[in-house]
Chain A
């Protein structure tokens, strides 16, 4: 299986942009820009659709966990409920509180949204298929961690710019939490990088094939990094038990208390897309990305496998959220600095030995 549907779409987009540029006498430099631009829009649309789906899924999952039904009225099994919610949010008045810093208040959600969307650029969707057909960034993982960290700035901007003390508290918590959990997350991913010998996500996925046993999650020396990844991933997405920046019962709504309409929708979409994003990343680095569990002979496209794996993560995060209570801020920090980081270094040492001798 050397090609895939996603690759074919990417190639078609590229061929069309080449033809378009030649036909209109546009310099060849713009071929890349056009092809990547179209690819980016496709990925963005996909991400938004998936976010809508995940919000619906969350409602259904929480319904089943809580002995109730969840949405049932709008469309079959309530599927269009979130689409209608998005429409409602679009119509809502955009309220900027008195005394708020207009630009910070505006840039907060935009920056949060953008930084996570940038991360999608290096996700390997299928064989040889990232965002724009065959572009493979050789420092993909580094880039991905870099751009997603920028989101913290957006949270701080939103919290500070809202002129609300609860928002400020939420933003402070968010900044502290995301920065703290980036360290163990990085340690967990470095373990994988050492085993794969590359920072390119595409090549990390390629190294985990063929067959289910080649996935990194089935290598005993990567079990600790895998569990660390799940914990830190949950913390990065700010979901229960690590939802302190929002903490509805303590901080009202945390950093997005003062947001309404589309700006709120951006935060909302980002939260759910981020969950999927963590799922995609986890699938790529631990579950073999688009690799099929039975190897290359599998007729099911790799993209479908990637979706299944990432949604397994999403369901896991949703299960956490509807079962567990929330940590307190000192316990959260203690967990990161006093437990996860030392454990991460131990895991790194184990992996070092394993890479040398296994």
Chain B
């Protein structure tokens, strides 16, 4: 528990003139628990806040309420058995998690997958990025008090989820990617349905922008809120749209260039301001870029096999491997150590939400209570991703 500081802490908190002139009034700071049950902590995050009126003096995040031994489970299951678990910790990016895990295992075993498989995997990952950013968009609307964008976003997300369901039989946790390939090929109508969605989706993004992004109240709430400097980004190892909102064009898809991303044309959207609004704009633009990527993938999608032969009992050589890719939340890394048996000796996730959350106390210091939910929404965390 944090120490309740008395009035001496006041100078650290930027105060207005009127507050300074009233220091003669004896005031107390308020220690208050935000969460684990709270509508806007995006799950079961607990923040212990020290408030000076409506101002935040100190915020201490407490995590672990959703801890489910995701990494330990890997040590008790074979390489193939673990794939569905990978879905489950960052549930908004299930395809991306599987992608990271199967890539790590394939690198460990030296498996090369077919070109068609690579394309389908990228299609899935990008569709999942769109779905994840739609959830972000809607939830930030909820956090700022606008209820309607959420339902609009979920209307489009539904189309994406339907395509996932048609492909893998699941709507949220797919277990679609397999080591050395995929569960099955795309269904017959998939490409047409997706192309149709990609045609109208940019218009829908514009609709959301008109409704929420360029609303003057929303802009006033977001601009200047949660200022994240480049120095803070480096110190806390921030990644994903958060770091790009601060003007650093760091995107693993470009920096590492894994899978077929080097063959695709897309921009890395960045904003210089580093506030919540900049991060918001980056995510909206990323949805447009994902549409671009998906269109190219559909054009170039090669025919052929989707699976390569992989032995039933997968026993990689002794060694370790670290594979990273760009999840909607940032740099997602999968670290695998093999001792030559059919089970991993150790698996570790470099979960982007975990790193991004650490900067929260810095961002909310001196902000208003209402800003906490905006900042939390704008760094876009997923709690199971943090607790694993």
Contact = CB atoms under 8 A, between A and B. Distances in A.
Nearest to A66: B151
A223 interface: no
A264 interface: no
Contacts, number: 82
Given A62-B147, A250-B369, A328-B370, A323 B211 contact: yes
B269 to A, nearest CB: 23
A166 B33 CA distance: 9
A249 B368 contact: no
Contacts of A327: 217, 220-221
Contacts of A252: 38-39
Interface residues of A, number: 29
Which one of A66, A173, A248 has the highest number of Cβ atoms from chain B below 10 Å of its Cβ?
A: A66
A162 to B, nearest CB: 14
A325 B152 contact: no
Nearest to B147: A322
A131 B125 CA distance: 65
B239 interface: no
Given A65-B148, A249-B39, A325 B368 contact: no
Contacts of A250: 40, 369-370, 372-373
B146 interface: yes
Contacts of A166: 32
B58 to A, nearest CB: 15
Interface in B165-217: 211-212, 215, 217
Given A324-B217, A330-B368, A165 B40 contact: no
Contact of B30 (A165, A173, A248, A324): A165
A331 interface: yes
Interface string B25-53: 00000101000001110000000000100
A310 B330 CA distance: 51
B54 A240 contact: no
A65 B155 CA distance: 13
A247 B370 contact: yes
Interface string B219-231: 0110000000000
A126 interface: no
A66 B147 contact: yes
A212 B212 CA distance: 36
A179 B82 CA distance: 59
Contact of B144 (A68, A165, A322, A325): A325
B38 A243 contact: no
A324 B146 contact: yes
Contacts of A243: 145
Given A240-B145, A250-B370, A325 B151 contact: no
A323 B39 contact: no
A325 B141 contact: yes
A327 B217 CA distance: 6
Contacts of B212: 325
A329 interface: yes
A328 B148 contact: no
B143 interface: yes
A325 B32 contact: no
Contacts of A324: 145-146, 215, 217
19 contacts: A62-B148, A66-B151, A67-B151, A67-B152, A169-B51, A240-B145, A249-B145, A249-B373, A250-B372, A323-B146, A323-B148, A323-B211, A324-B217, A325-B141, A328-B221, A328-B370, A328-B371, A329-B368, A329-B370
Shortest 10 CB-CB contacts between residues of A and residues of B = A326-B145, A325-B146, A325-B144, A66-B151, A249-B40, A325-B145, A165-B32, A325-B218, A328-B370, A249-B143
Interface of B: 30, 32, 38-40, 51, 54, 141-148, 151-152, 155, 211-212, 215, 217-218, 220-221, 368-373
Given A66-B148, A247-B370, A326-B144, 16 more contacts: A66-B147, A67-B151, A67-B152, A165-B30, A240-B146, A241-B145, A248-B39, A252-B38, A323-B146, A325-B215, A326-B145, A326-B217, A328-B370, A329-B54, A329-B369, A329-B370
Interface of A: 62, 65-68, 165-166, 169, 173, 240-241, 243-244, 247-252, 322-331
